[in-house]
Structure 1
């Protein structure tokens, strides 16, 4: 699979009309945004798997109660993205928002990695989900903004689609790694089925945690162009063919 991906990448650099033009990847903000999107979705799907099994297997919740246990993720993520992200992004810029958001999400996963058989939902799981969701909400808008900033008009759709592709790839890899590590760790653990299951999950969640921290470091290093407050401009192509939607973010 690795060789196929390398071969595909090489072929794309030689194609007359590549799916992802190499010129789009020369911007550090865009590379950082794609890495952040992949890591964030890796964490998101890992938490979904973790929470589903933890609530039903360890806490012995019903399927309905477990579903309701997911609500804080959607509520907090939406509230943070719409009420906090939209206000801070024009002032701080994508680099700061992504780095901070990914770091906060990693703190939420760290809390999940420290769960024990005696941990409860309200005291231990809920704070972790709230922390994780705040980081996600702070990152989502910044990721899309960083990935599409200063993109020529003809490449706007490609840049936007690349974010979705990065997220899908991160989620797929994250799910596969999480399930494999969780199953292996649970099998090797000597103890009750309940304790072994929890051990497998808390071991596996360290991998998306590491991915989030790595993505935060990549973002801090590559997405160096920082925004400052500026008056919004119409969303229309400029004379140079770039989209003005990002000008309010980057202060041009």
Structure 2
């Protein structure tokens, strides 16, 4: 009989689907981009809360491969927001010992944004505090498809034996290859779906779907969810003896 695995500690890696910015702004009679700006400010508070809560890795879903379907005005505004956020927060993140990395396909992103992303990753590469991963132009299916192409190319080039391909091989080709799998995935705004986020990595993650809109999500609520996670019985497919 498989012995149950029980994690009595808090989550080491938390991933967040930051949803509800647009609705938050609409409720206040403001344009959707107003909500996105408010949501960007909330990121700082949550990142700063991580060390005291024992969270070493934080991954946030900033822009999905499906978000290109939004209006041109909103997409352009979001891209401008990303450039502004990186420029404004770079030194603070470095000073707070936060290591930043980006995941997702950069091919559709403008050169200026990609350059800023590269610079921030390089600037914080030796930081040893919280690991902040920002998903931009990211989709779980797209990530697996891109990873499979790279794996197939290695097979074609004779670098990888097809017989050696298993569930431990593919993760080495994913965008998140240097990260542990998320222990807890949080989605704000009351929606109960995962929206193509970290599909492979979240196979055994715990989920929390909460009604709070992202701009209202506080460090106190974050702490409550972390505490709740500690009471869960994580068996990873096993059963109690």
**TM-score normalised over the length of structure 1:** 0.26
Whose Rg is larger? 1
Which structure shows the higher strand fraction?
A: 2
**TM-score normalised over the length of structure 2:** 0.27
